[in-house]
Amino acid sequence: MTTDRRRDESPGQTSRVEKLGVKPGHLTLLVGITDPMFLAELQNQGARITTSATPDLIFCAVESRAALQQLSRLAKRMKRQGALWTIRRKGSPLVSQADVHRAGKAAGLVDVKVVRFSDTHTADKFVVPLAQR
């Protein structure tokens, strides 16, 4: 998934990866995300991309309702204090925010934040409920 992203951040503004909670050293798993600008932002922030380790953060592209079925599997892969972010097209008739929230809840997660990912996409953050960490 690639997204349209304008360079509209000026000095003093919080960057996209900061809004997404990316910290230096975070192990990050990308599922269906191929946006070179986002990859560069992650690396510039000091995140480490992983395919096999237990990640601190997971970013998952959600282009259809069928893609939501992988959230349960991904939730089991992340660290208990980690976060799973779904990235979906704004206003898409294929997958709504309600669809994403239902799938996150079915995966045993709670939604805690929504962030503008780009001009065309939005990101929903899910975490393990506090009582289960």
Q: Would the pLDDT of 5 be above 80? A: no
Average pLDDT along the chain: 92
| Those residues with Cβ within 8 angstroms of residue 12's Cβ, 6 or more apart along the chain or in another chain | none
In-domain check, residue 77 = yes
- For residues 47 and 15, the answer to whether their CB atoms sit within 8 Å is no
Eight-class DSSP state of 68: G
Domain that holds residue 55: 16-132
pLDDT tens per residue across span 32-47:
999 999 999 999 999 9
Q: What is the reported pLDDT for 131?
A: 87
CATH label of the domain that carries residue 107: 3.40.50.150
Q: Rg of the chain's alpha carbons, rounded to an integer? A: 14
pLDDT tens per residue across span 53-67:
999 999 999 999 999
The total number of structural domains in the chain stands at 1
User: Facing residues of 38 across strands?
Assistant: none
Predicted TM-score (pTM) of this structure: 0.90
Residue 11: pLDDT band (50, 70, 90) is low
In-domain check, residue 47 = yes
In-domain check, residue 11 = no
